[in-house]
Amino acid sequence: MTITVTAEHVYQEPVEVVAATHLCKFPNDYDPNILSCTTVEKKRMGDGRTYTRRVAAVRNVLPHILRRVKSLQEEEFQIEEECWWDRNLRKFNVKSRNLSVTDWVTMAEASTYSPHHQNPNWTHFEQEGVITVHGLGTLGSLIEMFGKRFLSVGAQRSIAITEKLMAERGKKIKSFWYSEFLFA
């Protein structure tokens, strides 16, 4: 069985700010489950887009009762994220998938960030997450139910973290501009 979760949000910041925040938001103090995030490839493509591939180590948050399969007992899992930033179209696309435990669980997310149709200085965010558990019977159904909740809560938490980080970045910029140093 496959579970699909969608999320949508409007950031009141330009796509450029949201994309830059996304690309540097992990790890952070707000999400202790992201242990590390390493850029493994970054290149400018022939069509002007920038491609970034990162691998994150994430804490295994499966409840112990769902860790009956040996490969699900790992302390951390690996997630791959691919990002395409098109400055000309002002579009940022992100795809992520699990690299660990793919023999039992497949998780994938696809996100799109684009200018909002009513205000081009805002960002419209859309995300679809899919989780499929293969061949684990009743345990697989329980993992799918947990996965649906995890993806839903995770999407909302990621939105909130992005908002917090953009607000912090905005405060730093404003305090820099208005500091006594600049006006002395």
| Alpha-carbon span 52 to 84, nearest angstrom | 7
Q: What is the DSSP string of 18-33?
A: HHHHHHT--S-TT-TT
Handedness of CA 156, 69, 76, 104 (dihedral sign): negative
- Of 33-42, 54-63, 68-77, 167-176, the range with the lowest mean pLDDT is 167-176
181 pLDDT higher than 60: no
Q: What is the DSSP string of the chain?
A: -EEEEEEEEEESS-HHHHHHHHHT--S-TT-TTEEEEEEEEEEE-TTS-EEEEEEEEEE--S-GGG--SGGGG-SEEEEEEEEEEETTTTEEEEEEEE-SSTTTEEEEEEEEEEE-SS-TTSEEEEEEEEEEE-S-HHHHHHHHHHHHHHHHHHHHHHHHHHHHHHHHHHHHHHHHHTSHHHH-
Q: What is the DSSP string of 69-82?
A: SGGGG-SEEEEEEE
pLDDT band at 40 (very low <50, low <70, confident <90, very high): very high
Tokens of 129: 């997450």
| Alpha-carbon span 148 to 61, nearest angstrom | 13
Q: Average pLDDT in the 152-163 region?
A: 92
Tens of pLDDT, residues 107-155: 999 999 999 999 999 999 999 999 888 876 777 787 778 778 878 888 9
88 pLDDT higher than 90: yes
Class of domain 2-177: alpha beta
Q: Average pLDDT in the 59-72 region?
A: 73
Tokens of 28: 């952070």
Helix (H, G, I), strand (E, B) or coil at 139: helix
| pLDDT of res. 134 | 81
Query: What percent of the chain has pLDDT above 90?
Result: 62
| pLDDT of res. 177 | 42
Which amino acid belongs to residue 56? Answer: A
Which amino acid belongs to residue 70? Answer: K
48 pLDDT higher than 50: yes
| Alpha-carbon span 79 to 34, nearest angstrom | 10
169 pLDDT higher than 60: yes
Residue with the larger pLDDT of the pair 40 and 177:
40
